[in-house]
Structure 1
């Protein structure tokens, strides 16, 4: 009986010790996260977005709370887009010096990017450029992943998640799965509905303000005239986005990028 009591006491002491260590570690981790988020916010307000990004990324690695993780990921994605659309150089961009006979189309083709991304990153109001002018140019490859179960589209660059977009996908599981490529891009697309042609400015045009076609006939990523229906599986198979989001994505991604669609 005495041995049993002693064994029980030893077990209790060990349990208390382990619990204490866990509490200390959790408290230390929570303090670390708090400091990381504080530094991230300070640098964000100073417009040192690259530093803010690193602090947020490290905080995410230490976070376990799902809601807090979602909140910080959203802030990180906001910073990603701000950096992308600013002259700020990062590991996926270079400073390009414009040469004689250069044009934005030529530069975009050389680095497999888009004219609109170059313009937005350098605050250009027109396509006119001059020799000797310095431009920020993206050099890393973008890709898209569409998750049908979550109705989310993930924009990635060199494997890193840049931004998450809410989308709608096909009803009755009609959006195809697999790996595809973007093969055409249209501004204010006409909708060729069965038996009718619906112009871009018609309120009946379901394609919204942009179209990015996949290399599987009839399927693509497009805008919408019903933004309140996003987040559902209700389309005829295409991937539907908010017009503001699809216009942003349209400016970022060039032709030929890979689109992976999963269940």
Structure 2
């Protein structure tokens, strides 16, 4: 009987000791009251929540592609504007030959008839000096007339029509004098006939020189192709 009582007392004592131990540990370290938290993130200015009804309102749109394109267009000049700037720069420096060549290329690429007419007017003004005058130019040479020369002989020598020599040198007659200096255009002359606007264009080394109106034959019978014209 006594041994049973001892066992009961011992068990109660152990229970009390264990409780006291847990209370001491809890007081020493405290309860785990921490919670996992993450710092708030800044909203992405380019990502906005959808409006009600799964539709995006105009206020949610920051910019459109068209607006971005317009800004880029303002900053960048068009190719045509760059060409015009280059031509103006050449003319300021007195480089009529270079300006004429760029204008000629621009003329054949232009599709607007009004703009083509304006370019043609400038080309005619430049070629009046570069080609149809005795002013020296990069695509011309001066030939000194020798004994036995004639305009026909000189024209054959330079593979050019004698009437063209007369026009360039403002000669009303075929008479030439020994020692006279004649301006001769050098390079390849060609003709471009455009049936769409009834024009014949004279080209020198592929560049515009002069243009004339022409007929293309009755019922559009003029053939299309490349032809050789003999002097």
Q: TM-score, normalised by structure 2?
A: 0.59
Q: How many residues align?
A: 179
Return the alpha-carbon distance in structure 2 between the equivalents of residues 52 and 135 of structure 1.
Answer: 25
- Equivalent of 2:189, from 137, 142, 145? 142
Q: Cα distance 1:81–1:142, how it changes in 2: closer, same or farther (>3 A)?
A: farther
Return the alpha-carbon distance in structure 2 between the equivalents of residues 148 and 35 of structure 1.
Answer: 32
Return the alpha-carbon distance in structure 2 between the equivalents of residues 25 and 89 of structure 1.
Answer: 38
Return the alpha-carbon distance in structure 1 between the equivalents of residues 80 and 210 of structure 2.
Answer: 27
Deviation at 1:70, TM superposition (A): 3.0
Return the alpha-carbon distance in structure 1 between the equivalents of residues 108 and 188 of structure 2.
Answer: 24
Q: Does 1:91 align with 2:138?
A: yes
- Equivalent of 2:154, from 100, 107, 118? 107
Aligned to 2:216: 169
Secondary structure of 1:149's partner? coil
Return the alpha-carbon distance in structure 1 between the equivalents of residues 166 and 148 of structure 2.
Answer: 18
The structure that is helix-richer by fraction is 2
Return the alpha-carbon distance in structure 1 between the equivalents of residues 143 and 178 of structure 2.
Answer: 11
Deviation at 1:108, TM superposition (A): 0.8
Deviation at 1:99, TM superposition (A): 2.2
Q: Does 1:156 align with 2:207?
A: no
CA contact (8 A) 2:104 2:123 kept: yes
Q: Does 1:20 align with 2:67?
A: no
CA contact (8 A) 2:87 2:99 kept: no
CA contact (8 A) 2:105 2:207 kept: no
Return the alpha-carbon distance in structure 1 between the equivalents of residues 106 and 153 of structure 2.
Answer: 40
Deviation at 1:57, TM superposition (A): 5.3
**Greater relative contact order (Cα < 8 A, sep 6+):** 1
Q: How does 1:53-72 map to 2 (within 5 A)?
A: 53=100, 56=103, 67-72=114-119
Secondary structure of 1:85's partner? coil
Return the alpha-carbon distance in structure 2 between the equivalents of residues 104 and 35 of structure 1.
Answer: 39
Q: Cα distance 1:108–1:54, how it changes in 2: closer, same or farther (>3 A)?
A: closer
Return the alpha-carbon distance in structure 2 between the equivalents of residues 148 and 131 of structure 1.
Answer: 44
Secondary structure of 1:136's partner? strand
Q: Does 1:9 align with 2:56?
A: no
Q: Does 1:80 align with 2:127?
A: yes
Larger Rg: 2
The structure that is strand-richer by fraction is 1
Return the alpha-carbon distance in structure 2 between the equivalents of residues 181 and 170 of structure 1.
Answer: 19
